[in-house]
Amino acid sequence: MRARHLRWRLVTRKPVVLQAFQTTEILNVETVGQNKIARPGDWIVKGVTGDIFPCRPEIFKKMYKLEGETVQIVFRCPNCKNKWTSDEHGPFTDMDMSKQLCTICQTEVIGEQT
């Protein structure tokens, strides 16, 4: 950069609570426009815009503080009124953790965080 009147400023990241999980298997993570491979031990982070990306454990340790809480997401199917939670349905097959298919009528349901 050669712009004469531009100056670097000191900034800190605002404390934002994000969701993340540590993978135990190789995952193919589709982030904005590209595919990335997550290896066992990598963290999968859901960013502020809802994008999902893998993060190496050493970087994760520098940038994030683990809050220890797990997130429970409740799904209510608008079509057949089926209701379930993220705990009941176990590991997400879809990388988008807030969307699942209703097991009864296959409607796509967007979960709500409790």
Residues at the site binding Zn ion, with contacts judged by CB under 5 A: 77, 79-80, 82, 102, 104-105, 107
Burial class of 49 by CB neighbour count within 10 A (0 to 12, 13 to 18, 19+): exposed
With b for 16 or more beta-carbon neighbours within 10 A and e for fewer, the 52-86 pattern comes to: bbbbeeeebeeeeeeeeeebebebebeeeeeebeb
Measured from the CB of residue 85, what is the shortest distance to Zn ion in angstroms? 15
Comparison of 56 and 81: residue with beta carbon closer to Zn ion: 81
Scan for tokens 């809480």, then name that residue. 69
Query: Nearest CA to 43 among 58, 59, 21?
Result: 21
Measured from the CB of residue 97, what is the shortest distance to Zn ion in angstroms? 19
Measured from the CB of residue 16, what is the shortest distance to Zn ion in angstroms? 33
Comparison of 44 and 73: residue with beta carbon closer to Zn ion: 73
Comparison of 52 and 102: residue with beta carbon closer to Zn ion: 102
Measured from the CB of residue 92, what is the shortest distance to Zn ion in angstroms? 18
Comparison of 59 and 80: residue with beta carbon closer to Zn ion: 80
